[in-house]
Amino acid sequence: MEIDEQAWKQISTKLKNVEALKVLREVVSHVTEHLKSRIDEIKSSREKISFFSKGSRFLSINVGRTNLRIYFEPVSGALFSKDEEFAVEKVSFWETSFQKSTGKYRAITAWVSKEEHLPGIKTLIDRIPAPR
């Protein structure tokens, strides 16, 4: 599954930052390679790219003019701790996703815009379990 060239053109009219657009392409490529067996559908628009598994969105990338907000949904299966440091611009924990049994969060939003954030966001994406 791929994002068609028309969608990329629409996205690039909104995302004016060339480096952030390159980061977006890298992130999408990493998601589609790493989670290929999990992705049933990809939906894209000028403002968002969403990845679905079994009818539920598990990851979405919102496109701003200068940066990307990457939403790790609770159904993604990843867990995050406030004690961790993340090599991205900024992280916001979804308080409603707190899991008492583990003391971790099932959902976060991460902001990225620079190539230096690629290793950090790829590490976060790699936490999403992919069926074998």
What CATH code is carried by the domain that includes residue 59? Answer: 3.90.1150
> pLDDT tens-digit profile of 93-130?
999 999 999 999 999 999 999 999 999 999 999 999 98
Residue 131 lies in a domain: no
pTM of this prediction?
0.92
Residue 50 lies in a domain: yes
- When divided into structural domains, the chain yields a total of 1
Q: What is the DSSP string of the chain?
A: ----HHHHHHHHHH---HHHHHHHHHHHHHHHHHTTTT-SEEEE-SSEEEEEETTEEEEEEEE-SS-EEEEE-GGG---B-TTS--SSSEEEE-GGGEETTTTEES-EEEEE-SGGGHHHHHHHHTTS----
Residue 87 lies in a domain: yes
Residue 27 lies in a domain: yes
Residues of the domain holding 105: 5-125
Residue 132 lies in a domain: no
